Chain A
Amino acid sequence: MSLQARSVAELFGEAAMALTETITDPVSVRADSPHPVEIAAAGLDDLLVDWLGELLYRFEVQNLLVARADVAVSQTSGGWSLLAVVWGEPFDQGRHSIKVLVKGITYHRLSITEGAGQWQTDVVFDI
């Protein structure tokens, strides 16, 4: 996935939606219930891998598909932290057509860059 956004928080929100779009048609997912997420990591790229890994775990164990992610990302003394509320609903075989199962979030060619008011990332999912 190659993603651009105006802020790092928006970039992480876009990444969440890219994961949903890889798994299913995001239009079919309803923002029915809120789910808080809190993550900290030493580096911003680790934070992105952990963030998407968290959403993947919630999909597989809790069947949660994400329709929207309201994300705040901040730099701390120990690195980076993320506070988010993801809105979504449980996977419903009748309404959600599955495109592909994502096995993991890789570090392959992972990069997060900022320039000219744009944040950009490339992240590869293992499918």
Chain B
Amino acid sequence: MKVFATYNIKGGVGKTTAAVNLAYLAAEDGQRTLLWDLDPQAAATYMFRVRARVKGGGRALIKGTRSLDGAIKGTDFDRLDLLPGDFTYRNMDLLLDEAKKPVRRLTRLLEPLARDYDVVFLDCPPSVSLVSENVLHAADLILVPLIPATLSVRTLDQLTEFVAGFDGPRPEVLAFFSMVDRRKRLHREVAEQLPARRDDVAATAIPALAVIERMAEERAPVPVFAPRSPATRAYRDLWAEIQKLAPESDSLHPTG
């Protein structure tokens, strides 16, 4: 089971849209896929038309009184399941702090899911917190959406440096430019130059397009309602780049 996390300290950079579309594409590729919406705002949950509620709330999941397995909901799409967001996740930091080995709690909780899923996406709320630290420890690959700006590089460097200091297994980091507005010179320059200079920046950039904003209206991933749009193409290209870092396997998806 591969764990991918979409993470950035900042909000509104395209984390959730990336997690939703990439998870959809992973499932479309035949991978048994789970998306855990860790954001109390539960935007990913809303996009899949699932109620943003987990029985017992975040406390039950983190304390282990309720298994993740029992909280999972099927989406409308083959092989793609969702662990919904819940407003009580806003207190997750406190709950994690009470756990043994608090930075590895999510890793431990995800372990039993390895039998059922090939890929897990963690959609992380924007913050520097115990939740995000857990996510970084649990992930095999951290996907970092960056708005093309000079300071983006600094954000990426800070994250890479932070991850390099981990004891034990360290995740890979792959940044990609998001919300790229080709009309802006700075966006064009940064999005073109940086991937050529750095291995940890994907060649694919996600453009700023209205069709991506329409996801909340359509309540579906972009490839579902706009399969031929440039946004779909961009997410497919990005997924292909990610696949090269983490090759897929055959799928096993239980129906019983």
Partners in one complex: no
* Chain B residues in the interface with A (C-beta under 8 A): none
